[in-house]
Structure 1
Amino acid sequence: MSYKIVVDSCCELPEELKGDPRFEIVPLGIEVGDWHIQDDAGFNQAEFLKKVAECPTCPRSSCPSPDRYKQSFDCDADHIYVVTLSANLSGSHNSAVLGKNLYEEKHKDKKIHVVDSRSASCGEAQIALKAMELEEQGLSFEEIVKRLEDFRDEMNTYFVLNNLETLRKNGRLTGVKALVASTLNIKPVMGATAEGTIIQLGQAIGFKKALQKLADTVVQGTKNPQKKCLMITHCNNPAKAESVRQMILDKVQFADSRILDTAGISSMYANDGGIIIAV
């Protein structure tokens, strides 16, 4: 059986898989003032961060249409897995489900499953890579779907950002009851609920101490790390990403670890310097 894995562009795939025919990235749109782009292979992070720094208004995103997802299903693959941003953070998941329903009206034989990552960024990548791993093991579609959902339910997402204004102004922090003043240089350590909404897990004075608290939170919250991949995404901050990885690996051993740079949507919400971890 052949397969295909469709992800929205908040998912950071490793470089070696970006041109792989088994994968397709469906782009979201990004607006910075009057500047409109698609979050696709042409995304230039340095240019984007410069535009954001110069623009007085907050950047915004737009999800793919159901028809765009529907187009991605029109292929020879027997099994299709779709991994999207948390349904509680974006309309991307709803568009993917609608696209699936539209496609299945005329293609009853295709097996398509849409996974709400209840995460973002490297959390989506974790699920996409797990789908590939399970398919390569030759498991049935139904068994893979079950294992993917279980994998998603066991996964945790954490992050520390230099500022939370983009998330706040775009209404992504509605589940956070209170945040400390940024003028105090207190950096919150954030995470996600089982439903995929953002919560505050802790805080520290300064970005360096917040990253140490982030590392400690990952170590304490990860069960059976020796069977898992530690995945870290950063926005223009490779040194800090490597530093966090070492903080974690000094205390626990993982089966593998990866560091990825953010694409457009993740860059928009993480802001310059942000660190995201999914495990």
Structure 2
Amino acid sequence: MSYRVIVDSCGELTPQMKESGIFKTASLSMEVDGFHIPDDETFDQADFLKRVAASEECPKSSCPSPERYMELYKCDVDRVYAVTLSGELSGSYNSALLGEKLYKEEGGEEKIHVFNSRSASVGETLIGRKIQECEEAGMDFEQVVETVEAYIEEQHTYFVLENLDTLRKNGRLTGLKSLVGSALNIKPVMGSTPEGTICQLDKSRGMKKALAKMAEHVAKDAVKPEEKILAIAHCNCPERAEAVRKLILEKVKVKDSFIVDTAGISSMYANDGGIIVVL
């Protein structure tokens, strides 16, 4: 193995990615009522959601330190790639860049590139898999970087949540016009901008109709979908995720698809019942 891929813990690694030995996680952490929760293999989603539901305070998150990234860069490989949450939504990207700078100042010689996913959750997962695909195709370091950056440009992220409270209270919806109140059961269909910020794409009354609207946007925006993988993450709602996959695949043909349950940070922002789609 001559390369390593580091994905911050907002990106859910599939079982195959975990078993490969190629992928490593830079863990973020969360806090609920002063209780510290690392977003690592010890994360208990059911316990976390229970704590959030019982708390009057909004949960908060912290990104990996530059020193943590430095530790992950130190390995017996020639090339290291890091994939982080959108730089517009988290400090993880800047932390990874600073870790690279500090590591090289100490004499680190590996080639390192930090990818700003401009996405989150399974958007990061797909970018990690694209890096692996490029490496296995025999591309050199510069070719991998160029190909993956182009892939990021074409990627689209969508989500529908039961509520946007955590995103709003943690300042992740800055610049958005006021959203319709939940009392009317209006569910906004949200997405990412090319810069990696959050935008509202649509809205509908009720979750089922909102998910159908999201599927329409996925199909409309898809760029060469037959060459790409459809990824869906859900927070404690596998049946809903399967229904969304079916809706999308009725409208567009893709190379492959997979569904994962959200890890810690994605669970924190998606909340119980949230769905995230990336293509």
Q: Same fold (TM over 0.5)?
A: yes
Query: Cα gap change, 1:34/1:106 in structure 2, threshold over 3 Å: closer, same or farther?
Result: closer
**Take 1:269 and 1:89, find their aligned partners in 2: how far apart are those partners?**
11
Q: Tell me by how many angstroms 1:2 deviates.
A: 0.3
Q: Tell me by how many angstroms 1:228 deviates.
A: 0.8
CA contact (8 A) 1:119 1:192 kept: yes
Query: Cα gap change, 1:108/1:28 in structure 2, threshold over 3 Å: closer, same or farther?
Result: closer
**Take 1:40 and 1:121, find their aligned partners in 2: how far apart are those partners?**
14
Aligned to 2:72: 72
Aligned to 2:102: 102
Percent identical pairs in the alignment equals: 56
Q: Tell me by how many angstroms 1:35 deviates.
A: 1.1
Write out the 4+ residue segments of structure 1 that deviate beyond 2 Å after TM superposition.
Answer: 106-109
Q: Tell me by how many angstroms 1:143 deviates.
A: 0.5
Residue identity in the other structure for 1:4: R
Q: Tell me by how many angstroms 1:222 deviates.
A: 0.4
Matched residues, number: 279
- Which structure 2 residues correspond to residues 192-207 of structure 1 after superposition, within 5 A? 192-207=192-207
Aligned to 1:265: 265
Asked whether 1:208 is paired with 2:208, we answer: yes
Asked whether 1:87 is paired with 2:70, we answer: no
**Take 2:85 and 2:224, find their aligned partners in 1: how far apart are those partners?**
25
**Take 2:172 and 2:140, find their aligned partners in 1: how far apart are those partners?**
36
**Take 1:10 and 1:108, find their aligned partners in 2: how far apart are those partners?**
26
Q: Tell me by how many angstroms 1:127 deviates.
A: 0.4
Q: Tell me by how many angstroms 1:163 deviates.
A: 0.2
Q: Tell me by how many angstroms 1:106 deviates.
A: 2.6
Residue identity in the other structure for 1:74: K
**Take 2:142 and 2:109, find their aligned partners in 1: how far apart are those partners?**
14
Q: Tell me by how many angstroms 1:13 deviates.
A: 1.0
Aligned to 2:174: 174
Aligned to 1:276: 276
CA contact (8 A) 2:74 2:108 kept: no
SS of the residue 2:120 aligns to: coil
Residue identity in the other structure for 1:122: V
CA contact (8 A) 1:175 1:197 kept: no
Residue identity in the other structure for 2:248: I
Q: Tell me by how many angstroms 1:108 deviates.
A: 4.9
Q: Tell me by how many angstroms 1:107 deviates.
A: 3.0
SS of the residue 1:201 aligns to: strand
- Which structure 2 residues correspond to residues 95-244 of structure 1 after superposition, within 5 A? 95-244=95-244
**Take 2:240 and 2:14, find their aligned partners in 1: how far apart are those partners?**
19
Deviates more, 1:173-182 or 1:123-132: 173-182
Unaligned runs of 5+ residues in structure 1 are: none
Question: TM-score if structure 2 supplies the norm length?
Answer: 0.98
Aligned to 2:41: 41
**Take 1:214 and 1:257, find their aligned partners in 2: how far apart are those partners?**
17
Residue identity in the other structure for 2:270: A
SS of the residue 2:20 aligns to: coil
Residue identity in the other structure for 1:14: T
CA contact (8 A) 2:218 2:248 kept: yes
Q: Tell me by how many angstroms 1:176 deviates.
A: 1.2
SS of the residue 1:18 aligns to: helix
Query: Cα gap change, 1:37/1:108 in structure 2, threshold over 3 Å: closer, same or farther?
Result: closer
Q: Tell me by how many angstroms 1:223 deviates.
A: 2.0
Q: Tell me by how many angstroms 1:255 deviates.
A: 0.5
SS of the residue 1:246 aligns to: helix
Q: Tell me by how many angstroms 1:166 deviates.
A: 0.1
**Take 1:116 and 1:177, find their aligned partners in 2: how far apart are those partners?**
26
Residue identity in the other structure for 1:39: D
